Structures are given as C-alpha cells and as structure tokens.
Amino acid sequence: MRCTSPSVALALGVVLVTLVSQCYGQLSIGYYSDKCWGHNVEEIIFSAVKAEFVKDPTIVAGLIRLQFHDCIVRGCDASVLLDGPKSEKTAKPNSSLRGFNVVDAAKAAVEKVCPGVVSCADVLNMAARSAVFLAGGKWYYVETGRRDGVVSQVEEALANLPSENLPVRDAVHLFASRGLSKEDFVVLLGGHTVGFTHCEKFDHRLYNFHNTGKPDPRMHTGMLYALKKMCPKDGSGADNKVYFEYNPKKHYHFDNGYYKQLLVNQGKLEIDANIGRSPLTNSIVKKLAYSPDYFVNRFGSAMVNLGRVGVLTGNQGEIRRSCRAVNH
Ligand code: HEM
C-alpha cells in the first residue's frame, strides 16, 4: 500500500484522495484505491446507498445506528451483520436495527466489480458516512482496511450495548473503554438527531420516573403532554414510534437540532435528557447547540474515531463474501 501525507491528500481533494492512501495506524484513507482495478469503491457504495435512500430516506438512521452497534460490541468487525440463532442481532436491543438490506446491496455492488476484497466492516463504515451526507450532514474521510470477524454472540451484545437509562458517568466510562473521549460520546449521541425510538424506551419518564409514581419533573410540559397521548399509561402503545426530532420535515435531517432540544428539556430518552443536565457533559451540549458548524464537522471525526474501535487488520479475520455469513 502506498501512503501519502495528510496535507498532500487533502490538497488533492475528494476525488483524487481515493487514488493514494493516507495511513492512520492500522487503517488508511483510500485503502482500496489500488486494489480494485481502478474501480472507485467509495463511489460504488455511495451510489448503492443513495439508490436505497431515494426509495426510503429513513434508512439513514438505521445505517448510522448500525455502525454504533457494530463497533461497541467486539469492535468494528461487522459481527452485528451475521445471521444465526444466537448472533448479536438476535439480542433484544438489536431487534429494532434497520439497514441490513442496504449494507447487502452496497456489498453486492462492490463484489460485482471487485470480489473478495472489500470487507463488510468497511462497507458498513462507508455506508454510514454516505447516510450522514445524504441526510444533510458533512462528507468525511472514512479510514478503511478493516477485516471481518467470524464470531457474533448474543451474550456479548447484551453485555455491551448501553441501556437508554445508563447514567452519564457510566456511559462516559463505556466510551472511554473503547478509546473514545467524552466529547466523542456527546457528539456521537447526536446521531439521535435522526430516526425514532419507541414508547417503551422512555415511558417510565412519563408516569413513574424513578419509582416516584410521577413524571420526570424536569421534562418540558408541552412535550410531556404530547408524549402521554402517544404512549398511554396502560402500555398499549409500547411499540409506538416517537421521532427524536419534533419537526416532521426534520425527522431525517442531519443537524444540531437534537442539542437545541436538550437545552429546553425535550430529550426523549433518559440518556438524552441526562447529557443535557449532567455537569460532566452539559458544556459540550451547549457548544454543540450553539454552533451548527461545529456539530456537523465534529460528527465526522467522531464517527472516524468510532470506526477505529477494535478493528481487525493484517491476517486477522477474513473478507466475508456475504455480510450475513462467515466464509466456509
Ligand atoms: C449511551 C449511548 C446510547 C444509547 C443508550 C442509545 C439508545 C438508543 C435507543 C434506546 C434507541 C431507540 C431504539 C428503539 O426504540 O427501538 C436509539 C435509536 C437510535 N440511535 Fe442510539 N443510543 C446510544 C448511542 C448512539 C450512538 C453513539 C449513535 C450513533 C453513532 C446512535 C444512533 C441512533 C440512531 C440513528 C437511532 C434511530 C434509529 C432508527 O430510527 O432506526 N445512538 N438509540
């Protein structure tokens, strides 16, 4: 692999950067530039995601979340993509993951022109970047060169995926244990600017906050009223979808609206509300709420940092032919 200096690559710009590689530790930008007979892997994946996005713009949230759920369990090794009776995707917190079909389509598109070369872990990271961009976020350079894992266990997903009620201090520790800073954590949670959650994930905040028999006293009154309607007390609406963003035009628009909502007590999940309140994270939330540019720029670098967690490289793992099954 040929590597070049970051300054040269940046000067070359987005098209030519895929012709030379920029090295970062074990991964590099443009890793596939000389491995697919001149085919531009990043462009192929972007086109495949775009084709799905045009049919269903909601997939952006699914893809961004998929990268997180892959990387936080066993590292970014595409273990979340594997099918199987006891694989990670069978864990309850993964039951609402979406976008597997989009990753399959992107992988199929690269396999067609460059078989057995591009890992599913890399396809997923590039697909998530494409999603951020298509939703109005900023394009960022994805490091590549990951290989795919061959293990995927439901117990590991259950043990490592954070609960929506995880205290901020514990969440910061969890991310730190993966090499991610407190700011990376708060910025990545900005993924909650797109997509939805379900009533069951937060309805204790509406009716029985921390066993008080009352709502979370600091929840925005208007939002409390609206959410109670969508999520009745008898639990009959447990599976109802509630968008993180109020404005329907922005349900899938990537901006810093999430942090603005947090500052007026309109976070949906307990973890959302808590990062707005905690002295550990409150100043970061304010910075992101007041500076839209800072958020869109910083989100890309946080995703790159997330994409470095526990990667397999060199002779480790394999390059899967189908993202849903290990090679035989
Ligand atoms: C402590 C950390 C986190 C917790 C506790 C958490 C929790 C959740 C929960 C409970 C949901 C809703 C699931 C459902 O109702 O079915 C959700 C959705 C989502 N999460 Fe997170 N999350 C965390 C971090 C992240 C990060 C780091 C990202 C992105 C990098 C992310 C991106 C998303 C997205 C995009 C959705 C919407 C998915 C969709 O519409 O399909 N989350 N998260």
CATH number of the domain to which 248 belongs: 1.10.420.10
pLDDT of residue 240: 96
Q: Which of 101, 189, 259 has most ligand 1 atoms within 8 Å of its beta carbon, as the pocket-test mutant? A: 189
pLDDT of residue 90: 98
- 20 has pLDDT over 90: no
Cβ(269) – ligand 1 distance below 6 Å: yes
- Arithmetic mean of pLDDT over the chain: 93
Give the count of alpha carbons within 13 A of 159, CB side only: 7
- 282 has pLDDT over 80: yes
Note whether residue 128 is domain-resident. no
- The separation between CA 69 and the C-alpha centre of its own chain, rounded to angstroms, equals 7
- 38 has pLDDT over 80: yes
Note whether residue 250 is domain-resident. yes
Q: DSSP for 106-159? A: HHHHHHHHSTTTS-HHHHHHHHHHHHHHHTT----PPEE--BB-S---HHHHHH
Which of 10-14, 19-23, 134-138 shows the lowest per-residue confidence on average (mean pLDDT)? 10-14
User: Are 144 and 125 spatial neighbours (Cβ–Cβ below 8 Å)?
Assistant: yes
> What percent of the chain lies above the pLDDT cut of 90?
91
Which of 19-28, 127-136, 214-223, 274-283 shows the lowest per-residue confidence on average (mean pLDDT)? 19-28
Question: From the CA of 132, how far away is ligand 1's center (Å)?
Answer: 15
Note whether residue 322 is domain-resident. no
Cα–Cα nearest to 147, from 168, 170, 116, 174: 116
Question: Crossing angle, helix 41-55 and helix 100-113, to 10 degrees?
Answer: 140
Note whether residue 32 is domain-resident. no
Neighbour tally for 115: CB within 10 Å: 11
Domain with 239, as residue range(s), is 168-303
Question: From the CA of 170, how far away is ligand 1's center (Å)?
Answer: 16
Note whether residue 180 is domain-resident. yes
Ligand 1 atom 13, closest CA: 197
Note whether residue 145 is domain-resident. no
Note whether residue 93 is domain-resident. no
Question: From the CA of 14, how far away is ligand 1's center (Å)?
Answer: 29
Q: H-helix or E-strand containing 243?
A: strand 241-243
Cβ(267) – ligand 1 distance below 6 Å: no
For 173-195, the pLDDT digits (tens) are: 999 999 999 999 999 999 999 99
Number of domains in the chain: 1
| CA distance linking residue 213 with residue 236, whole number of Å | 18
Ligand 1 atom 10, closest CA: 164
Binding residues for heme b are: 192
- 10 has pLDDT over 50: no
User: Are 109 and 51 spatial neighbours (Cβ–Cβ below 8 Å)?
Assistant: no
Hey, which residues does 144 pair with through a beta bridge?
28
Query: Binning pLDDT at 50, 70 and 90, where does residue 246 land?
Result: confident
Ligand 1 atom 8, closest CA: 164
Binding residues are: 70, 73, 75, 77, 79, 88, 162, 192-193, 255
Once rounded to an integer, what is the mean pLDDT over residues 237-255? Answer: 93
| CA distance linking residue 69 with residue 161, whole number of Å | 7
- 9 has pLDDT over 90: no
Question: From the CA of 192, how far away is ligand 1's center (Å)?
Answer: 6
User: Are 18 and 46 spatial neighbours (Cβ–Cβ below 8 Å)?
Assistant: no
| CA distance linking residue 191 with residue 254, whole number of Å | 8
For 191-227, the pLDDT digits (tens) are: 999 999 999 999 999 999 999 999 999 999 999 999 9
Q: How many residues make up the chain in this entry?
A: 328
Cβ(190) – ligand 1 distance below 6 Å: no
Note whether residue 184 is domain-resident. yes
> What percent of the chain lies above the pLDDT cut of 70?
92
